[in-house]
Amino acid sequence: MRTWPGRRAGRVREAPTGRRECPPPTESGQDGLRMNDELRITPRSADFAAWYNDVIMRAQLADYSPVRGCMVIRPHGYAIWELMQGALDAMFKETGHQNAYFPLLIPQGFLAKEAEHVEGFAPQTAVVTRGGGKELEEPLVVRPTSETIIYAMLSKWVQSYRDLPVLLNQWANIVRWEMRTRLFLRTTEFLWQEGHTAHATSHEAEEETLLILGVYRRFMEEWMAMPPLTGPKTEAEKFAGAVRTYACEALMQDNKALQAGTSHFLGQNFAKAFDTQYQTADGALDYVWSSSWGVSTRLVGGLIMTHSDDVGLICPPRLAPIQVAVVPIWRSDAEKAAVLDSAEQLARALREAGTRVALDDRDGMKPGAKYYEWEGKGVPVRLEVGPRDVKQQQAMLARRTGGKAPVAVAGIVEAVQGALAEIQDDLLAAARQRREDHSIRGVTKEQLIELMEGAGGFAYGGYCGSPECEAGVQQASKATIRVLPDEEFRSDPAPATCVWCGKRAELEAVWARAY
């Protein structure tokens, strides 16, 4: 059985609880309650940024590193990332992709080969100029993304249309020198997945771009319970070097948008820059058409900001490193033996059914303290097992999202799995409801500005397509066009006029202030 290091004696295997109607943790000393100051959480409504940081610290997801802008991902945070990786990796494999690994260091000259690309990334790169005690002949950049090195290699590997498509993915770290950083959301170094594909036709490459956008969306909804809007970005917002960028945009609890995943149709831009040509069936030479796409550890930040509350993290069951915490309760040694025996049986049954369970049998820690700890860490379900429960062949099942009820031991696996599934569904439904509650359609210029200066949210409005209008709105409201929404998200009737200039609307756009 898996155990956790206890702060007192015992081992820990855990379970969460409903965040009952008890008040949130209070300041030390108040109400006779005490808690470690480092675990104190600023109320979300008081200061969202502080709340976000506090949740991360409380749940032990990450910590600051000695280097500005960098973060340490702690085991509990990394476990969430690993679950994300597992789900996404399986989806990539199902759609025919293979993993590979390209190096961290890229010749500086490579970046310069694609004009927009270098313009976009040069200011953000870290450059290595010395190695082995000597000045390097050509500086090496720490990859801010890997298009350049990958196309340099593809031009070696691809000769014929028979070599296409190439469907690659890599899990890697990258470095982008950011002015301002935030845990998970924007750090100097971050972990991500970058897919790179090369195709014989433009159509096929764009189909691939959209396929992956759909994969991302499905992952965000089904695993993260975070429902994004999807659609293309405007020219101003697209990836440096792409022909078109598509994105998933999710709405956080402070009503700011988070770009959660992007998928780019690159046309032949990189193929031309790196001379990645192939021979067609009829003997001609053509450049490959390509796509690239990525999601990063930023998703962990999105997960936190989508669901969590003033008690701490709320983690959707499918991505919860610990789905169930079992907390035994006893008074005497005799009770302890019986209760532990029952708790271990429950834990074993759940584990055998594929549930991630922790049994928290740490000695000398009161049950209430354990509840708070697991709640802070976002564990979706807690099972409490005390002498009374043993006698009645039951356990108390408490949900992180609220509610506590007895469950018969005989049906524990079904009850727990049912609860996990319900919590997963409820979180998605709640997030979708919140998104719609904070979306306004057919906004006027005044409404848009008012919304952005106030409550925030997604503002749907008409857009003539001109960069001037896009810039005008941004200057007036600090909101950017997050996406030109895909059909299923569009308004009916479609907006008739541009929010900014009042001319005929060619498109519908969704504005929001964004991370």
How many C-alpha atoms does 117 have within 13 Å on its Cβ side?
25
Residues 208-237 close enough to bind RNA by CB under 7 A: none
What's the closest the beta carbon of residue 494 comes to RNA, in angstroms? 27
Closest by alpha carbon to 215, among 39, 388, 94, 381? 94
What's the closest the beta carbon of residue 443 comes to RNA, in angstroms? 20
State the DSSP code for 72.
Answer: E
Site string for RNA, 387-406 (x = CB under 7 A): xxxx-----x-x-----x--
Residue 36 binding RNA, by CB under 7 A = yes
Per rule CB under 7 A, count of chain residues that contact RNA: 78
- Residue 134 or 366 with smaller CB distance to RNA: 366
Select from 11, 272, 432, 478 the one that contacts RNA (CB under 7 A).
478
What's the closest the beta carbon of residue 157 comes to RNA, in angstroms? 27
Listed ranges 77-85, 87-95, 153-161, 383-391: which one lies at the site for RNA (CB under 7 A): 383-391
Q: How far apart are CA 435 and CA 248, in angstroms?
A: 13
What's the closest the beta carbon of residue 492 comes to RNA, in angstroms? 29
Determine contact, residues 258/514, Cβ cutoff 8 Å: yes
What's the closest the beta carbon of residue 206 comes to RNA, in angstroms? 19
DSSP reduced 3-state for 224: coil
Which residues have CB under 8 Å from 347's CB, separation 6+?
A: 1, 13, 324, 326, 357, 359
Q: How far apart are CA 172 and CA 150, in angstroms?
A: 13
What's the closest the beta carbon of residue 243 comes to RNA, in angstroms? 15
- Residue 239 or 278 with smaller CB distance to RNA: 239
- Residue 245 or 276 with smaller CB distance to RNA: 245
Select from 12, 15, 25, 417 the one that contacts RNA (CB under 7 A).
25
- H helices of 392-454, where? 412-437, 445-453
Select from 2, 3, 4, 33 the one that contacts RNA (CB under 7 A).
33
Cα distances from 490 to residues 231, 442, 505, in angstroms, run: 10, 10, 13
- Residue 260 or 448 with smaller CB distance to RNA: 260
Select from 190, 216, 270, 511 the one that contacts RNA (CB under 7 A).
190
What's the closest the beta carbon of residue 40 comes to RNA, in angstroms? 7
- Residue 406 or 465 with smaller CB distance to RNA: 406
- Angle (CA) 398-402-405 rounded to 5° is 40
- Residue 87 or 369 with smaller CB distance to RNA: 369
In which residue are the tokens 């001037």 written?
Answer: 468
Q: 199 forms bridges with which residues in the sheet?
A: 289
Select from 109, 123, 131, 411 the one that contacts RNA (CB under 7 A).
123
- Residue 3 or 491 with smaller CB distance to RNA: 3
Q: How far apart are CA 28 and CA 48, in angstroms?
A: 21
What's the closest the beta carbon of residue 320 comes to RNA, in angstroms? 17
What's the closest the beta carbon of residue 412 comes to RNA, in angstroms? 14
Query: SS3 string of 24-70?
Result: CCCCCCHHHCCCCHHHCCCCCCCCHHHHHHHHHHHCCCEEECCCCCC
In which residue are the tokens 């504005």 written?
Answer: 511
Residues 234-273 close enough to bind RNA by CB under 7 A: 239, 259-262
Residues 316-375 close enough to bind RNA by CB under 7 A: 329-331, 336, 363-369, 371-373, 375
Residue 298 binding RNA, by CB under 7 A = yes
Tokens of 413: 């696996």
Residues 130-189 close enough to bind RNA by CB under 7 A: 176, 178-183, 185-188
In which residue are the tokens 């090195």 written?
Answer: 149
- Residue 155 or 230 with smaller CB distance to RNA: 230
Residues 416-455 close enough to bind RNA by CB under 7 A: none
What's the closest the beta carbon of residue 210 comes to RNA, in angstroms? 17
- How far apart are the two ends of the chain, measured CA to CA in Å? 41
Q: How far apart are CA 78 and CA 71, in angstroms?
A: 12
Residues 63-102 close enough to bind RNA by CB under 7 A: 64, 67-69
State the DSSP code for 458.
Answer: E
Q: 142 forms bridges with which residues in the sheet?
A: 105
